[in-house]
Chains A and B, each alone.
Chain A
Amino acid sequence: MTDEMDEMEEIIIEFITEAEESLEKIEPLFVELEQKGQDRDMLNDIFRSMHTIKGAAGFLGFQLIVKVAHSSENIMKKLRDGEFSLSKELMDVILKSIDMLRLLLEHLKAKDGIEEDIAPLVRELEDALNTAISGTTASEESEEPVEDSTGGQEIKPTESETAAPVAENIEPQEAPEIAGIPESSQNPDAKTESPSAGEQKPGEVAQEIKDNAQKPKETAQNLRVDVERIDKVMDLAGEVVLVRNRLLNISNYFNQNYSADSQTEMLMETVSFLDRVTSDLQLAVMKIRMQPIKKVLSKFPRLVRDISASVNKEVELIISGEGTEVDKSVIEHIGDPMTHILRNSIDHGLESTEERIAKGKPPKGRIVINIFQKGNQIVIEVSDDGQGINIEKLKQKAIEKGLLTEEEARKMSDEAATDIIFMPGSSTKAVATELSGRGVGMDVVKTNISLLNGYVEVSTEKNAGTTFKICIPLTLAIIQALMIEVSGAKYAIPLSPIEETLKVSKDEIENITGQNVIVIRDKVCPLFELNSLLGNGSIGNNGNEPDHKYIVVIAMGDKRFCIAVDSLLGQEEVVIKTLDGIDTTSSYVLGATITGDGKVVFILDVSGMSRNIFELTKV
């Protein structure tokens, strides 16, 4: 009994995930349709996805979903068959129905039993359908009116049709797919529905069959796996990496001391084989967690459409590099910051259409999202061709709000000033709009991105536009790190923010008002002893300071600072281990790793250091 319940539950969860995915897929298609005009293939795709949702929902008895899906499917079907063309009004109601479907799925997921009132929406959908039909009836050929007379006059029949024949149609067709049983010859039943729907149906049924015939193959190639299981495999792979590192160390020892023994050679060979396999394994496991960033991007066309409509601007969104694969955790966390940036760009960045025409720019604003992989990083660029950030205004605002003093503002370089927008409580727009300008948002962007060990930069040019550039490491579990040593203790510094390493002599270090600085290529850079940053005091080399120091130059966005260390040990791939049981928020420690010789080495949190350093120097 309980088994059956579980099974049912599983099916429902499966349905929800699949339906959500379908909705995610069709939403951007719609926006694209609106731009491209009629595209039969695309309409077909949309129609089919909607139909699948309707089918599955009918089988599971989610009548509300069936009704909404059915009503918007009605419109889509006619769109697909070219009975009328897609208007903005139609689009609006269809998008609304997608929102409603999402909401309904949300309730299903939460099992809160809340029933949304879908009647107004269904009515709206039907009204839209009727208006669209009556608008085109006159010009339509003889084939159509037959359907029109049924679809056009009566609202009730459409509704009653929703519940009964739909459910009938669904069971034979969709049930096998859900239950995972290979589907075969049950389609004849579908024909019971086809007469009622007119000539269009047979074609559709045929499509359906084709669609379902392809399905089994697809399910065989894709597997839904619990994330926890993947994470477990990931952990184990991390362990294997550590063991490999230790083995490499040991085999090196044997190679040096017992190179005459033939067994040593065997050992070296075996270990180097293990080395290779481990690297491959690690990569393969990492790839499991990688997903195309498209998943996040698919909601943006709709978002941009809605935002731009609400502020009365015309915006064209161009996305490239959506196939770039990133770690699951990146997908989870990058959505919000990108949404904020897009909002900001549309609301603040782009000018109104009139303003753009006056400036001689194309009336339509343009936002480009470009994503690419650069070394070990994923770079996400969001650029607009708007007015650029008004630096003076920004500074003025910041002064008014007490974020800066006038003196600081005067001294601030333009590049540094653009960072003001990331300060909590700053907003350039004099009047806050519904979308942005509440003073929250951009600082969230910064925090979210630094959670991912990334950073964000802004570059702006007056009247040419603004570009936000987000850089995030590819994966969060294994990183490239520079191993360094200070008074006998080893530390790892993540490689991505390191700009360069230098060896400087003692007299190159200057002291300005108590702060050590060095000059690197005509730029003054604050210098900190790692030991004092870590609160270890200046242990050890008191008095006999070496003549030379090694300097690690860290760049976080446009902020740079240097860390002085005793020696640089080299680059290593390290597995990040979390520290349970120790609160590391104040200790500049990101995590720990275990080196080849089994020692624990801390990974330093340079973005935390940077935050603290620049907060302190600002005050």
Chain B
Amino acid sequence: METSTVTEQVLQLVTFTLANEEYAVDILNVQEINRTTEITNVPNAPGYVEGVVNLRGRVIPVINLRKKFGLPEKNADDTTRIIIMDIQGVTNGLIVDSVSEVLRIPSDIVEPSPPVTSNTSRMFIKGIAKLEKRLIILIDIDKLMGEAVQL
């Protein structure tokens, strides 16, 4: 195990789904994962800002990733989760369809995203991890949040 970390970098990821596709973020950015709670709308805010939630006394903005990525909307259900992320000292929540697992992958299986995708989400994609039977889209969280912070 140790030798492998020395020779090749291992990425530890939290994977989640959005509209039947699998995405992942770096585990180091994830603070916790919560079930959805009551979300308060923010007046005059862009559409993808779902609102704010009360996280143990702190008020945290929550971003709807489906809306952010231009995917069709979906009502919250039992599997819906809010991933609380800590990015450069600012805490944010991301609404995702469901959270799947924590994954360790070697960094060399990550490939740059194919240039053909025209989706708005492309600018937030760091790369694509090719696993045996599935593809996981790695999200560049700094870019995503950098956008979100300045509404």
**Chain B binds chain A:** yes
Q: Which of the candidate stretches B6-14, B51-59, B74-82, B136-144 sits at the interface with the other chain? A: B51-59
Residues of A in contact (CB 8 Å), total 26
Q: Give the chain B neighbours of A586 by CB distance below 8 A.
A: 44, 151
**Contact present for A535 and B43 (CB under 8 Å):** yes
Q: How far is the CB of A576 from chain B (nearest CB, A)?
A: 10
Q: How far is the CB of A478 from chain B (nearest CB, A)?
A: 14
Q: Does A182 contact B (CB under 8 A)?
A: no
**Contact present for B40 and A601 (CB under 8 Å):** yes
Q: How far is the CB of A241 from chain B (nearest CB, A)?
A: 10
Q: Does A543 contact B (CB under 8 A)?
A: no
Q: Does B120 contact A (CB under 8 A)?
A: no
Query: What 0/1 pattern do residues 535 to 553 of A give for CB contact below 8 A with B?
Result: 1100000000000000000
**Contact present for B43 and A589 (CB under 8 Å):** yes
Question: Considering the chains assembled together, what is the distance between the CA atoms of A389 and B40 in angstroms?
Answer: 48
Q: How far is the CB of A231 from chain B (nearest CB, A)?
A: 15
**Contact present for A534 and B43 (CB under 8 Å):** yes
Question: Does more than half of chain A's interface fall in helix, strand or loop, or is it mixed?
Answer: loop
Q: A579-B52, A581-B92 are in contact. Are A239 and B57 (CB under 8 A)?
A: yes
Question: Considering the chains assembled together, what is the distance between the CA atoms of A599 and B38 in angstroms?
Answer: 7
Q: Which listed residue (B59, B149, B151) contacts A592, Cβ 8 A?
A: B59
Q: Which listed residue (B43, B54, B57, B61) contacts A599, Cβ 8 A?
A: B54
Q: Give the chain B neighbours of A132 by CB distance below 8 A.
A: none
Question: Considering the chains assembled together, what is the distance between the CA atoms of A584 and B41 in angstroms?
Answer: 13
Question: Considering the chains assembled together, what is the distance between the CA atoms of A600 and B53 in angstroms?
Answer: 6
Query: What 0/1 pattern do residues 576 to 603 of A give for CB contact below 8 A with B?
Result: 0111111110111100101000111110
Q: How far is the CB of B63 from chain A (nearest CB, A)?
A: 9
Q: Give the chain A neighbours of B53 by CB distance below 8 A.
A: 600
Q: A489-B40, A577-B59 are in contact. Are A587 and B91 (CB under 8 A)?
A: no
**Contact present for B57 and A588 (CB under 8 Å):** no
Question: Considering the chains assembled together, what is the distance between the CA atoms of A600 and B49 in angstroms?
Answer: 15
**Contact present for B148 and A581 (CB under 8 Å):** yes
Question: Considering the chains assembled together, what is the distance between the CA atoms of A577 and B60 in angstroms?
Answer: 10
Interface size class on chain B is 20 to 34
Q: Give the chain A neighbours of B54 by CB distance below 8 A.
A: 594, 598-600
Question: Considering the chains assembled together, what is the distance between the CA atoms of A602 and B42 in angstroms?
Answer: 8
Q: Does A242 contact B (CB under 8 A)?
A: yes
Q: Give the chain A neighbours of B60 by CB distance below 8 A.
A: 580-581
* Beta-carbon contacts under 8 Å, B105-129 to A: none
Question: Considering the chains assembled together, what is the distance between the CA atoms of A509 and B22 in angstroms?
Answer: 54
Q: Give the chain B neighbours of A534 by CB distance below 8 A.
A: 43-44
Nearest to B60 among chain A residues (CB) is A581
Nearest to B87 among chain A residues (CB) is A581
Q: Give the chain B neighbours of A239 by CB distance below 8 A.
A: 57
Q: A535-B44, A602-B40 are in contact. Are A581 and B58 (CB under 8 A)?
A: no
**Contact present for A602 and B45 (CB under 8 Å):** no
**Contact present for A582 and B44 (CB under 8 Å):** no
Question: Considering the chains assembled together, what is the distance between the CA atoms of A580 and B151 in angstroms?
Answer: 12
Q: Give the chain A neighbours of B150 by CB distance below 8 A.
A: 583
Question: Considering the chains assembled together, what is the distance between the CA atoms of A594 and B40 in angstroms?
Answer: 11
5 A-B pairs with the lowest CB-CB distances in the bound complex, closest first: A534-B43, A587-B44, A535-B44, A600-B40, A592-B59
Which of B's residues lie within 8 Å of A, judged by CB? Answer: 38, 40-45, 49, 51-54, 57-61, 90-92, 145, 148-151
> A580-B60, A600-B53 known; 7 other A-B pairs, CB under 8 Å?
A242-B57, A534-B43, A581-B61, A581-B149, A582-B42, A592-B52, A592-B59
Pairs across A and B, CB under 8 Å, 15 listed: A489-B40, A489-B41, A534-B44, A577-B57, A581-B91, A582-B42, A582-B49, A582-B61, A589-B43, A592-B52, A594-B59, A599-B40, A600-B38, A600-B51, A600-B52
